Amino acid sequence: MAGAIIRILSRAIERKLKAAERRAANARAMFEEIGEIVLVSVQDNFDAGGRPKKWPALKKRQGKPLQDTGRLLNSITKRVTSRSAEVGTNVVYAATHNYGRDHIPQREFMLLQDEDREDIREAIGEYLTKGFK
């Protein structure tokens, strides 16, 4: 073949794909980062008093909604494995406040923002493509 030649070496590509496969099989570091993104987002929801929309004000007393004792905020934890990340709370009344019920208005604190979703996509992409650059 005359002229210029571009040669792609399949062995190099195969090595990089196998490395990505190994990272995907044990992605604890990636899920640790994702869990932290979600945890910080939920904490920021409390700091802002609701995002993107403010939570309804308290009707019978002064103060910030969901922040009287700090118990709910302090109960938010993350759990990470090599295959998943979970952020949540074991406080019994959390669902009532997050979704609303009867006379209690919804104050959604377990909520991701659009920028969090983008940060999660970036974390996944960076983790899986490490070594391809």
Q: Which residue has the tokens 């952020």?
A: 87
Contact 51, 114 (CB under 8 A): no
According to the model, what pLDDT value does residue 1 have? 53
Alpha-carbon distance of 116 to 34, in angstroms, equals 9
Contact 85, 79 (CB under 8 A): yes
According to the model, what pLDDT value does residue 130 have? 79
According to the model, what pLDDT value does residue 23 have? 79
According to the model, what pLDDT value does residue 6 have? 72
3-state helix, strand, coil in the chain (%, to 5): 50, 10, 45
Residues in the chain with pLDDT < 70?
1-2, 7, 131, 133
Residue by residue, DSSP assigns 9-20 as -HHHHHHHHHHH
| pTM of this structure | 0.83
75-to-94, 110, 130 alpha-carbon distances in Å: 10, 12, 34
According to the model, what pLDDT value does residue 25 have? 79
